[in-house]
């Protein structure tokens, strides 16, 4: 297996700064690595260095792609003779909330999905919830207003702010019923080929349940505890574009080595 990282935009021989420590640690374990330039993809080009060997499994670790761009990346990898560890379908399955939600609906806050450009106010008003957590299918609102609305009107305003500041609504709008979680209780776990890994201790039962329901080669599972102590799934994500969060670097890269 070879791991593909984005290069520094100003120095093509170096990894992009946020991935430098992981890049070095992976190399020290003897895992082959390559760098590529994001800008090249925009021009229909893809030149990983060192080059991909024919038949080599390729794991990507880098910034988020939308579904169209990730499909293009896997196509480029295939044209160079590589085999993506995560197909475009698997990427979408864990990257977009609407695709994994039905399998885990009993483990995560209730969610309603709205089509882009639909009558948001009318649909949200029908829910009659005490509060609404607003995001698109991938990310929530990150400006000062945040993602929680107390009224349908506030919810629509957050949707508009997501579109304004991020440039698009990716996939559609997700309206989630707000659940109160214990402060600092959220933890990230990873699943590799059906086996769940923890950053520090044993894997909680709720994550093991997810591994039985979600079939994808590499994804993250974020878990938090309610005020009553119940474990709940906050979100899933494609492992290739999920941050390590509180994971020790050595533990994380040893987990990556298991994929090979």
In angstroms, rounded to a whole number, what is the distance separating the alpha carbons of residues 81 and 66? Answer: 23
Evaluate whether residue 53 is within a structural domain.
yes
- Residue 118 is part of a domain; what is its CATH number? 3.30.1490
- Mapped onto helix, strand or coil, the DSSP state of residue 205 is helix
**Which tokens belong to 144?**
């000062």
Nearest to 147, CA basis, from 118, 120, 173: 173
- Do 156 and 195 share a domain, yes or no? no
In angstroms and rounded to an integer, the radius of gyration of the C-alpha atoms of the chain is: 19
pLDDT at 121: 98
Q: What is the pTM of this model?
A: 0.95
Query: In sequence order, what DSSP letters do the residues of 33-77 get, joined into one string?
Result: EEEE-HHHHHTT----BSPPPTT-EEEE-SS---HHHHHHHHHHH
pLDDT at 83: 98
Evaluate whether residue 256 is within a structural domain.
no
pLDDT of the chain, 260 residues: tens digit per residue: 999 999 999 999 999 999 999 999 999 999 999 999 988 888 888 999 999 999 999 999 999 999 999 999 999 999 999 999 999 999 999 999 999 999 999 999 999 999 999 999 999 999 999 999 999 999 998 877 899 999 999 999 999 999 988 888 999 999 999 999 999 999 999 999 999 999 988 999 999 999 999 999 999 999 999 999 999 999 999 999 999 999 999 999 999 998 87
In angstroms, rounded to a whole number, what is the distance separating the alpha carbons of residues 38 and 16? Answer: 10
Q: How far is CA 53 from the centre of its chain?
A: 27
- Do 160 and 200 share a domain, yes or no? no
pLDDT at 226: 97
Nearest to 254, CA basis, from 29, 9, 10: 29
Evaluate whether residue 144 is within a structural domain.
yes
Q: 143, 177, 211: which is the final residue of a domain? A: 177
pLDDT at 95: 97
How far is residue 243 from each of residues 38, 42, 186, 214, 248, measured CA to CA in Å? 18, 24, 14, 20, 12
- Do 170 and 201 share a domain, yes or no? no
In angstroms, rounded to a whole number, what is the distance separating the alpha carbons of residues 133 and 224? Answer: 15
- Mapped onto helix, strand or coil, the DSSP state of residue 136 is strand
Asked if residues 108 and 101 have their Cβ atoms less than 8 Å apart, the reply is: yes
**Which domain range does residue 240 map to?**
182-244
In angstroms, rounded to a whole number, what is the distance separating the alpha carbons of residues 139 and 174? Answer: 10
**Which tokens belong to 35?**
């760098």
């Amino acid at each position: 297996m070879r791991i593909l990282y984005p290069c520094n935009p100003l120095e093509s021989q170096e990894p992009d700064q946020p991935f430098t420590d992981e890049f070095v640690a992976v190399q020290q374990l003897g895992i082959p690595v390559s760098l590529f330039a994001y800008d090249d993809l925009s021009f229909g080009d893809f030149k990983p260095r060192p080059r991909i060997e024919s038949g080599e499994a390729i794991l990507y670790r880098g910034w988020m792609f939308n579904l169209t761009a990730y499909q293009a990346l896997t196509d480029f990898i295939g044209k160079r003779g590589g085999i993506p560890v995560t197909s475009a379908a698997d990427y979408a399955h864990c990257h977009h909330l609407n695709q994994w939600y039905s399998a885990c609906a009993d483990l995560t806050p209730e969610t309603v999905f709205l089509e882009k450009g639909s009558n948001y106010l009318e649909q949200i008003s029908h829910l009659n919830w005490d509060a609404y957590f607003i995001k698109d299918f991938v990310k929530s609102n990150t400006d000062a207003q945040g993602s929680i609305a107390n009224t349908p009107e506030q919810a629509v305003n957050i949707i508009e702010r997501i579109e304004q500041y991020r440039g698009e609504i990716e996939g559609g709008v997700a309206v989630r019923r707000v659940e109160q979680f214990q402060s600092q209780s959220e933890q990230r776990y990873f699943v590799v080929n059906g086996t769940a890994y923890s950053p520090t201790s044993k894997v909680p039962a709720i994550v093991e349940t997810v591994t039985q329901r979600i079939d994808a080669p590499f994804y993250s599972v974020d878990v938090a505890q309610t005020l009553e102590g119940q474990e709940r799934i906050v979100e899933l994500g494609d492992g290739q574009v999920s941050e390590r969060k509180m994971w020790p670097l050595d533990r994380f890269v040893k987990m990556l080595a298991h994929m090979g």
